[in-house]
Structure 1
Amino acid sequence: MLRAIPPIALAAAVLCGATPAHADTVTGLVGTCTVKDAADNDPAAGGNQLPYKFCDDGVPAVGGTTPNVGAVDALAVPQKYDGFTGLPPLSPSPDAGSGFDPVTNRIALDADISIPDATANPPPPGGWPLVVMMHGCCSGSKASWKDTKVDGSGEKWHYNNAWFASRGYVVLTYTSRGFVDGSNRGSTGFAELDSRRHEINDYQSLACQIAGTADLDPGTAGVQSINPQKIVPTGGSYGGGFTWMALTDPTWDCATEGAGATNMRVVAAATKYGWTDLAQSLVPNGNERKTSQPGTDPATAFTKTPLGYPKRTIVAGLYAAGKTGVPPGSPHTTFPPKIDQGIACLSSTDPFAQNPACTQAAPGSIATVPDLLDEFITDRSAYYQQDFWTGLGNNSIAPVPVFSAGTFTDPLFPPQEHRRMAERLKAAAPNYPVQEYYGDYQHFVQNKAKEWGDVCGADRHVCTYTDYPGGDLNQTPPTIAREVGATTRLNRFLDAYADPSANPAEPQPALDVTASLQVCPQNAASLGARPDEPGPRFTEGSFAALAPNTLTVLAPGLQTTTSDAAPNNHAANADPVQNSLAQTNRGKCPVEQSPGGFASAGPGVATYDSAALTRNVTMVGTSSVTANFNVIGGGASPFQLNARVYDLAPDGTQTMVDRGTRTFTETAGPLTFDVHGNGWRFDKDHKIRIELAQDDDPYIKSSAVPSSIAFSGISISVPIREAPETIAGGAAPEAPGTAPGGAGGGDPGAPG
């Protein structure tokens, strides 16, 4: 149970706080610590207190490619390492123009540390566990996961520096290399995007520097230190990709970085909505099936062949946010020239494999875009870390427990980014300790506070500190209104392995999978759900068990698509960036109106419907589409095909519930591909609608090479929780007087 200390003693400690100092070592940084209270952000107030100490020496005066000589107000790490596995030594050959200190060949990272109160949470034998919280891209900083109270708003509810530090974790929050504020102040160096050769070694170096500090709280009696065998990386998005990468290099020693031969070990990790294949996340080819696991050899990565098409608006937005900030002059990062070249390639025309903008090195660069693709796969994608898989296989690497908070609806890092890694871990080591959660959150979607946080009381508010009797945050509040959310599951999982002093006896977690159904205004009432909450949650022993049966729709009918489907209103409305900014939607489900149930996507898009459902069916997971096709006109491969899956209500409201893309080289035959996946309930009398489009721009960049495809029909296999069923379907009817999208309208009730 959390221990409180008298408010008078806490107030005295505040008045006797340490004098701020410039910090170029951890010792200097902890000299800036001040006492805080995570209960109500008032350490001098009465009542229960959740004390901790927060150490911040401000923001360095420079960042990016301007050297911070002496690492003033920062912690120094090598600009370049001599290798990547197990924290290698500093390389004697730093990269030119990268902002390194010419005296030390190091860069400077802007860091804060939060430290438990040694009275309320004395260090357990071996020391406190260390949580390393990594921010997102491309405007994140050390402040991204900072809060003043345990129950911060939104995703920071029970997930911030104050939460962890007040419960017995030392917390390291720092600004990753190259990230700066609007005045170009922050951390020096180029942002290498979670490279195993840079950012992963950076965090290992900083952890070693903390482990090598003689006393993290010299103003308190005794010696306070971390337990080097209990390191916990965590973060979301960029921080999620970082955490997956950190998992693949889980042990190292500190012989080169500040703590002698201290052996360090990741005891558990919590990764949220990150990537395990960065190239597939940004330039998807959709060449991955749920029925088989991709190979882990980076030389033959499925992402490479064929090269896909970029997520145009998302990639452009990330690049703008990183290059200049959005709006310009906001926090941003410092991209190396090779990233600029990659963007120039993806902004040019296809086929990219023949485009000089992609295949020739830019002036002053030795890298081509294929080289950069290899880097993204080999150095930045956890799924392809061969040494890790080999070590798991021969037992030289012990399994590291993982809490995986994947996402169903995120169009940047869809569920495959977590699912492929979790399934591979389970295949590599029997009973691998991984717990998974999937829901409707993060980039460009609703990201509801009540998906992350717990819900309390008759008014169903996000639980606050006062909902926990006696301030015991380890217990479930007596007024809790439904099962606990994603963040409580994450915390209980970490506590079970890290044993923080505020909760040293958390039971071992179930190694299960939980998924919630997406709730939008269009389906909230039929689900009996509140619009600001997730839908029903289901928990099973495996992902496959969440929806063990299949609803198959057989939909014959002649349809055609074209590579330019202007005006293409459905694609524009379904673009994640535009939808998240739309005043009327703000990341909710994209909705179209199809009066009379007629196809409404316009020319160049093929539309197929199921027959009306005779019962409610609950989809959880990834559906597969099989299209029988022939390329009938235009250019050379590769070709692009996109699917948008809708729930078509009897009143003609058409709600998008899933999507996916596939790049292929075949000119005829059946083509089967998976869409992203989701949790959604289709109600009785509704239809499942699939729009097939070669042109899904601006989400997926459309091909500049004109082509047309003819379809003779499709089928879709939907994973459901109810009994299996095969139903009929067909080409969606066209409105009278409308030019048909194909050679026949068809009857949605016709036999397949």
Structure 2
Amino acid sequence: MRRGTTALLTAALLGTGAVTAPAAATVPVEIVPRDLTVTVTGLGPAGRTCQVDADLYVPAGVDAGSPAPAVLTTNGFGGTKADQADVARGLGEQGYVVLAYTGLGFVDGDLCPITLDDREHDGAAAGQLLRLLGGDPSVRAVDDATGATVVVDQVVRQDDVTGTPFDPAAGMIGGSYGGQVQFATAAVEHAAGTDRLDAVVPLITWNDLAYSLAPENGAVSPTSVTSTGTGVPKYQWMALFTVLGVANGLQDLPAVTDPAQLAGLATGDCANFDARVCTALLEVATTGYPSAASTAFLRERSVASYVSDVRVPTLLAQGQADTLFDLQESVATYTALRDQGTPTALVWQSWGHSDLTPQPGELDMRHPAESVQGRQVLAWFDHFLRGEGPAPQLGFSYYRDWVHEQTGDVAAAYAHADAYPVGATETLHLSGSGDLVADPAAVVAGSASWSSVAPVGPNYTETSFLDQTGPVTDPPGTAVRFTSPPLTAPVDVVGSPRLTVTLETPTVAGTQLLGPGGQLVLVAKLYDVGPDGVVELPHRLVSPVRVADVTAPVTVQLPGVVHRFEAGHSLAVVLAGGDLAYRGSTLPQPVVLRTGPGVAGELQLPVTG
């Protein structure tokens, strides 16, 4: 049986799509997978042995005499190999041998815990599966139907070229949890000098899991999400991603806003996680933030900590609709890979963890040749695994919803640039009376104030991925807003705006030296305000910050977005004292924001067009 539900982070990401394949002259014979149990050994410091449940898909006509390249794929968090059936059959019909497997820790009866895609367990296990695809008889695989030992001999071998034994022509694809394991596998292979992995396609995955679950967006580099500061826990997602999502399912969602109940859950059996995961949960429930040790634990399980060992061509796709792993994470990974010379392409697609449904024609891996992203994947694998076709286009591509609405053409909705970032920077200035003005000479002195009132909320943006429909709210006294005049022409923002403000908070100035618990927590966000006053928060994305020093100007990196602010609309930047999706300050924190000539206060926007 599967442990828990797959409703949260399902790996059906790759099979989701509203595309119907056109009628073909011939209907391909459906590939019936061979159900295998593969024994992987020597994992982690304890040298664990784990049983991996896998399905081997071999296309018709592919055998030892006519081998084909292979693709390895695994599930998203909480899923199983079954979630990968569409991608396996879709790539199989394109002539690829596919091995779909259930990630470590997601099958009852196996004693191996969930280790968050670390290199020593998850990466090493996938490396052994690559050896299996390369025909290594020492990697034991058994046919579950017959009990016969299986040695894979239908995959193209590269031993003579690379000098590496049991080296298949092989790539990997997967989303979310099934995305990060690709980086772990590539790093393990490169560190060992074997490099059996030839191309990867990680979708909607993380760069730094410490940032993903407890982001800190203050004064960070535009091309990195890793900070030396302590983040603000993404309370709902953290709970759903770990204990609640797997062990207890959706019926325990009320605990998301009940720290005492969450603390009780975290002291249980830890839902088959490495115990340090639940230690971090307990810290958040009791102190309100993760310790340095927990932050280091999460960061170690992230490509940010070992990117120099990832040298495999990478087609990286990230979702605009994603409050779990945001666009900034993909920028950090893309930039690091590109700057070290790794062939890398970055795609900002429409869909993500907050909305798992691609646009019609955008992604359908069951029929990859019939969708925009599916064709990108085929071009990537065809070139790097088969040596066929031109070198794929690198650089940066991004989906524009307003173009799709105007044209009805999802392919035309994608723009391409040679690299990220794109466009130019335009600056608006914070002025008294709550205005955003283009002319710095128009700035007048003023002040605005707010206070946090509870560790969780009361300001509302979302309920993780479960509800993106309710209105965003900022109760009186809990936030300040600065608004531009109505726009005379559309403004297209592509990337991460940056906000700089000057604050006064004597209470926090006296407590911030005590550590994270005494530091100011705030949440910054950018609204699109319509002529009728209706507020849109693009994809419900916000930037929480734990400010290390309130006596100096504070710079916040706002969420990465692709958004058109239409003519007649206004931009509004908001600073709030809390949010229902995050674990904020335990004590009230009154804050005054100062504006005026010579006072640091501006909003920088990355604008295209």
Find the counterpart in structure 1 of residue 476 from structure 2: 602
Seen in structure 2, the aligned counterparts of structure 1 residues 230 and 661 have a Cα distance that, compared at 3 Å, is same
- Once residues 402 and 568 of structure 1 are traced to their aligned partners in structure 2, the CA distance between those partners, rounded to angstroms, is 39
Find the counterpart in structure 2 of residue 711 from structure 1: 593
Look up the equivalent residue of 1:647 and give its one-letter code.
D
Q: Does 1:581 align with 2:477?
A: no
In the alignment, which of 322, 345, 348 is matched to residue 246 of structure 2? 322
Q: Does 1:415 align with 2:330?
A: no
- Consecutive unaligned residues of structure 2, counting only runs of 5 or more, are 1-18, 158-166, 253-269, 433-445, 513-517, 596-600
- Once residues 688 and 641 of structure 1 are traced to their aligned partners in structure 2, the CA distance between those partners, rounded to angstroms, is 19
Describe the SS at the equivalent of 1:179: coil
In the alignment, which of 145, 154, 158 is matched to residue 84 of structure 2? 145
Find the counterpart in structure 2 of residue 74 from structure 1: 37
What are the within-5 Å matches in structure 2 for residues 119-130 of structure 1?
Answer: 127-130=67-70
Shift of residue 47, structure 1, vs aligned partner: 5.8
What are the within-5 Å matches in structure 2 for residues 306-705 of structure 1?
Answer: 306-319=229-242, 320-327=244-251, 334-350=272-288, 352=289, 369-378=291-300, 380-385=301-306, 389=308, 399-429=311-341, 432-445=342-355, 447-450=357-360, 452-453=362-363, 485-499=372-386, 505-518=388-401, 528=406, 536-545=413-422, 547-556=423-432, 557-564=446-453, 571-572=459-460, 574-577=461-464, 580-582=465-467, 587=468, 591=471, 601-633=475-507, 635-636=511-512, 637-657=518-538, 658-696=541-579, 698-705=580-587
- Equivalent residues, number: 526
Whether the 8 Å CA contact 1:517–1:534 is kept in 2: the answer is no
Shift of residue 237, structure 1, vs aligned partner: 0.8
Find the counterpart in structure 2 of residue 274 from structure 1: 205
Structure 2 length as normaliser, TM-score? 0.78
Seen in structure 2, the aligned counterparts of structure 1 residues 567 and 143 have a Cα distance that, compared at 3 Å, is closer
- Once residues 378 and 24 of structure 2 are traced to their aligned partners in structure 1, the CA distance between those partners, rounded to angstroms, is 27
1:356-396 deviations in Å (ceiling 9; x for gaps): xx7xxxxxxxxxx5333222222x111111xx52x6xxxxx
Q: Does 1:110 align with 2:53?
A: yes
Whether the 8 Å CA contact 1:135–1:142 is kept in 2: the answer is yes
1:235-289 deviations in Å (ceiling 9; x for gaps): 11111221232333344779xxxxxxxx552111101010111111101112463
In the alignment, which of 109, 121, 133 is matched to residue 210 of structure 1? 133
What are the within-5 Å matches in structure 2 for residues 57-206 of structure 1?
Answer: 57=35, 74-78=37-41, 80-81=43-44, 93-94=46-47, 106-118=49-61, 127-137=67-77, 139-147=78-86, 160-180=87-107, 184=108, 187-206=110-129
1:73-101 deviations in Å (ceiling 9; x for gaps): 6211126346xxxxxxxxxx44xxxxxxx
- Once residues 115 and 611 of structure 1 are traced to their aligned partners in structure 2, the CA distance between those partners, rounded to angstroms, is 61
Shift of residue 487, structure 1, vs aligned partner: 2.8
1:14-72 deviations in Å (ceiling 9; x for gaps): xxxxxxxxxxxxxxxxxxxxxxxxx999xxx9961423643343xxxxxxxxxxxxxxx
Whether the 8 Å CA contact 2:454–2:585 is kept in 1: the answer is no
Shift of residue 544, structure 1, vs aligned partner: 1.6
Seen in structure 2, the aligned counterparts of structure 1 residues 633 and 492 have a Cα distance that, compared at 3 Å, is same
- Once residues 216 and 165 of structure 1 are traced to their aligned partners in structure 2, the CA distance between those partners, rounded to angstroms, is 21
1:386-421 deviations in Å (ceiling 9; x for gaps): xx52x6xxxxx8x42110101233111001211111
User: Between Structure 1 and Structure 2, whose CA radius of gyration is higher?
Assistant: 1
More helix by percentage: 2
- Once residues 431 and 411 of structure 2 are traced to their aligned partners in structure 1, the CA distance between those partners, rounded to angstroms, is 32
1:641-666 deviations in Å (ceiling 9; x for gaps): 21121110111111002421211121
1:537-595 deviations in Å (ceiling 9; x for gaps): 211111123x23424344344111212179966x32x1242xx434xxxx36x6459xx
- Once residues 376 and 694 of structure 1 are traced to their aligned partners in structure 2, the CA distance between those partners, rounded to angstroms, is 26
What are the within-5 Å matches in structure 2 for residues 229-244 of structure 1?
Answer: 229-244=168-183
Structure 1 length as normaliser, TM-score? 0.64
Look up the equivalent residue of 2:424 and give its one-letter code.
P
Look up the equivalent residue of 1:249 and give its one-letter code.
V
Shift of residue 290, structure 1, vs aligned partner: 4.4
- Once residues 293 and 44 of structure 2 are traced to their aligned partners in structure 1, the CA distance between those partners, rounded to angstroms, is 20
Look up the equivalent residue of 2:29 and give its one-letter code.
P
Extract structure 1 runs of 4+ deviating beyond 6 A. 122-125, 214-218, 532-535
- Once residues 111 and 718 of structure 1 are traced to their aligned partners in structure 2, the CA distance between those partners, rounded to angstroms, is 47
Whether the 8 Å CA contact 2:42–2:49 is kept in 1: the answer is yes
Whether the 8 Å CA contact 2:524–2:556 is kept in 1: the answer is no
Find the counterpart in structure 1 of residue 438 from structure 2: none
Whether the 8 Å CA contact 1:411–1:576 is kept in 2: the answer is no
User: Percent identity between the aligned chains?
Assistant: 20
- Once residues 334 and 490 of structure 1 are traced to their aligned partners in structure 2, the CA distance between those partners, rounded to angstroms, is 33
Shift of residue 114, structure 1, vs aligned partner: 0.8
Describe the SS at the equivalent of 2:522: strand
Seen in structure 2, the aligned counterparts of structure 1 residues 631 and 165 have a Cα distance that, compared at 3 Å, is same
Shift of residue 632, structure 1, vs aligned partner: 3.3
Greater RCO (Cα-Cα under 8 Å, separation 6 or more): 2
- Once residues 592 and 372 of structure 1 are traced to their aligned partners in structure 2, the CA distance between those partners, rounded to angstroms, is 31
- Once residues 292 and 321 of structure 1 are traced to their aligned partners in structure 2, the CA distance between those partners, rounded to angstroms, is 31
Of the structure 1 ranges 533-542 and 683-692, higher mean CA displacement relative to structure 2 is found in 533-542
Shift of residue 441, structure 1, vs aligned partner: 1.4
- Consecutive unaligned residues of structure 1, counting only runs of 5 or more, are 1-38, 58-72, 83-92, 95-104, 148-159, 255-262, 295-301, 353-357, 359-368, 392-396, 455-462, 466-472, 478-483, 594-599, 723-752
